[in-house]
Amino acid sequence: MQNHFCKTPLWEAGQTLAAVAGGSLPAEIVIINAKLVNVCTAEIQENISVAIAKGRIALVGDAEHCIGPQTEVIDAEGQYIAPGFLDGHIHIESSMLSVGEYARAVVPHGTTGIYPDPHEICNVLGLPGVECMIEDSKRTPLKTMFVTPSCVPAVPGFEDTGSFVGPSDVAKTMEWDHIVGLGEMMNFPGILSGTDHAHGIVGETLKAGKTVTGHYSMPETGPGLNAYIASGIRCCHESTRAEDALAKMRLGMYAQLREGSAWHDLHEVSKAITQHKVDTRFVCLISDDTHPHTLTSQGHLDYLLRRALEEGIDPITAIQMVTINTAQCYQMDHELGSITPGKCADIVFLKDLEHMEVTRVLIDGSVAAQNGQMCVPIPPYTYPDWAQHSMHVRDEITPESFRIQADTDQDSVTVRVIEVIPARVGDYERHVKLPVTDGKLESDTTQDILKTFVFERHHETGKFGAGFVKGFGIQCGAMASTVAHDAHNLLVVGTNDEDMALAANTLIRCGGGMTAVQNGKVLGCTPLPIAGLMNDKPVEEVAALVAELEEAWKTIGCQMPSPFMTMALIPLACLPELRLTNRGLVDCTTFQFAPLIVKE
C-alpha cells in the first residue's frame, strides 16, 4: 500500500537515505544519547543515535559519521525514544472537536497517527461529510489515516439515518488517497447471515488490498466468530471479556483493547495476556471514544500506556501495542511503527517508562510538540454551511410529544426496560411493572425508570420510538443529545414531559449537541453545530463545556463516568441486549423489533 502520509515517499527518498547512512551525505537531523525502545526485538538499546533525512530514518546506531556542518543535533540526554504512537480505532467525532483541534489535543501526548472511522458524521451527512473531515485533517501534522464507514446505517432496517453507504460507494472511496481501509463492520448479523450488502462492502475493501476493521460484540467465540473472521475482517475492539480477546488473538484477529472516557474495558480484557503465556503481537491499545476533558486532563495513548502498566503489562509490550502491532494490523509496518531505517521519522521522547511522560514529538523528522505544547501552527478550516444545519425534526416538540399510551384497562403493565451499565457498552433487557395512569405510562423514579424517546432528525419523517431506561439514578430532570449512535437522531431521556420538551427544543435551536435540564432550567449545554456532533472551538473551550455538562448530570442525580456517552448508546442497535431507535425497541440478540409491553 502506498503511504500518502509521509513527507517524502520511500521510492523518492531511498537514494538519499542510503547515502546518509553510508556517510557520503550529511543527515538533516541526528538524535544522540538516546535509549531506544526497540519494538522489533522488545529490548532497550542504550546510547543510540538516529540519523534522519527527507522525513525518514536513515540510520539507527552510531551516527557520528552522519553529522555535517548543517546537521541539527538533538541531544536526548539519556531519555527513551519510541516510535510515534498510533491509535488503531478512534472516532474523532466523539471528542466533539474538529480534526485540527483533536490533533492539537493529542500530538503533544505522543500520538503521531490515528485510524479514524468517521461513521458518525457519515450517518448524518454521508460521504460528503467524510470529505469535509479529510479536508480538515490536511491542515494538521497528525497522520490521519481514515477508514471508510461500513455501516450507514449500522444495522439496515432498524433505524433512519441521514445517508446510506453501499458496496459501490465503498469501492469509490478505496481510490481516495486518505482511505486505508474499512471502518468497523458492525453489521455482523449481515456477515453471519450472508447478505450481499454486508459482504459486498467487505469485498470491495479486500479487492483494494486494504484492511477491514471489525465490531463483533457477541459473547461467542465459536462458529460465529470464525465465520466473521473468515469473511476477511482483521481486527475487533469490542471485547469486554478476557476470553473474547484471547479467542480473537488465537484466530489471528487483532484484539484491540479499549479504554476510553466511558468504556473502561482494559481491566478485564488485559487478563487475556497477563494471565496467559501468549505472544502479544495481535494486541493493540485503542481509545475508541474519548471526550475533550479526558484528553486535556489525562492524555491520549500515553494515558492508555499508563493504564496498561497499572494492569501489569510490561512497558515495552505496551508500547508495541500502540506502535508496530497497530502498523502491522493496517499493513503499514513498512512505513510506520518502528524506529528502523527507511521508516517515517515519527519519534516520541519519554522521560521514563514508568510514567510515560512525553517530552518531545517528531513527525516526519520535524518537532511537532515539546513539553506538552504544539510547536507548529494549525491553519483554520471552516465546515460548509450545509454541514452546520443538520436539525430537521418534522413536528413541533411539546410536552404532549412524550405521552406513552398504554392501550389497556389494567392498573399496571409489564414493560421492557433498557438497563445501562456504567463504564460498559452493553446493557440488559429488564421486565418491570409500571402503573397505568389515565391510560398512560410515566417515568417511575422509585424504580429508577425514565422515559426515553428517539426522534428522527434527518429527513423530517416524523418517526419516533418510545421506551424506558434504567440505571441513571436521576430523580428530576431530563437530558437530550444528538450524539446518539449511530444514526444520531434526537435522543431524549427524562423524568417529566416538560423538562424533556425543553431539552429537545434547546438542541433544535442550537443546531444539535448535548444538554441537561431540571425544573424548566437549562443546567448545562454543549452546542455541536457541525452535524450535531462537533464544535470547531478550541479544545479547552469544548472541554470546559463538557465538564459543565458533567456537573449538570451530577446535579440531577447521576454519578456514573461520562454518562452522556453511556446515554448515547441507547439507540445503537448492533450492541446487546435491548436498544431503542427512532423505529422502536430492538432485541439485539435476535435482531427483531420488540413490543414495549410484555404480554403475560
Query: What pLDDT score was predicted for residue 565?
Result: 85
**Sequence-distant (≥ 6) Cβ neighbours of residue 196 within 8 angstroms:** none
pLDDT, mean of residues 378-407: 96
pLDDT tens-digit series, residues 192-210:
999 999 999 999 999 999 9
Measured between alpha carbons, how far is 2 from 534 in angstroms, rounded to an integer? Answer: 31
Residue 1 has pLDDT above 50, yes or no: no
Average pLDDT of the segment spanning 124-139: 97
Residue type, 73: V
Rounded-to-integer distance, Cα 291 and Cα 125, Å: 22
| Beta partners for residue 455, in sequence order | 464, 490
Specify whether the CB–CB gap between 121 and 133 falls below 8 A: yes
Mean pLDDT of 57-67: 98
The pLDDT value recorded for residue 560 is: 86
pLDDT tens-digit map of 484-495: 999 999 999 999
Residue range 196-225: average pLDDT?
96
Distances (CA, A) of 70 to 29, 65, 66, 67, 366: 9, 13, 11, 8, 15
Residue 14 pLDDT level (bands cut at 50, 70, 90): very high
SS3 467: strand
Strand pairing category for 449-455 and 490-494:
antiparallel
pLDDT attached to residue 3:
58
Residue 87: all three cell numbers together:
491509535
Q: Rounded mean pLDDT of 565-570?
A: 92
Which has the closest alpha carbon to 567: 284, 262, 290, 306? 262
Q: Tell whether the model's pLDDT for residue 262 goes beyond 80.
A: no
Which pLDDT score is estimated for 395? 94
- Give, rounded to a whole angstrom, the gap between the first and last alpha carbons of the chain: 58
pLDDT digits (tens, 9 = 90+) for 320-346: 999 999 999 999 999 999 999 999 999
Q: At what angle do helices 242-250 and 223-230 cross, to 10 degrees?
A: 50
Nearest to 361 by CA among 113, 587, 191: 113
Residue 493 and residue 566: Cα distance in Å, rounded?
12
Cα 445 from Cα 338, distance rounded (Å): 54
Q: How many CB atoms lie within 10 A of CB 547?
A: 17
The maximal CA–CA distance of the chain, rounded, in angstroms, is 92
One-letter amino acid for residue 25 of the chain: L
What's the confidence (pLDDT) of residue 563?
87
Task: Examine the pLDDT at 472 and tell me if it is beyond 90.
Answer: yes
Beta bridge partners of 522: 517
Which value, in Å, is the radius of gyration of the alpha carbons in the chain?
Answer: 25
Across residues 228-241, what is the average pLDDT? 97
Cell of 13: 527518498
Q: What number is the average pLDDT over the span 90-104?
A: 96
Query: Among 191-195, 332-336, 562-566, 593-597, where is mean pLDDT lowest?
Result: 562-566
pLDDT value of position 361: 98
> Cell numbers at residue 515, please?
444538554
What's the distance, CA 193 to chain centroid?
A: 27
Instruction: Categorize the per-residue pLDDT at 425 as very low, low, confident or very high, splitting at 50, 70 and 90.
Output: confident
Is residue 31 pLDDT above 80, yes or no? Answer: yes
pTM summary value: 0.94
* pLDDT (mean) for 275-297: 94
Q: What is the mean pLDDT of the chain?
A: 96
Question: Could you give the C-alpha distances from 59 to 89, 158, 343, in angstroms and in order?
Answer: 31, 55, 10
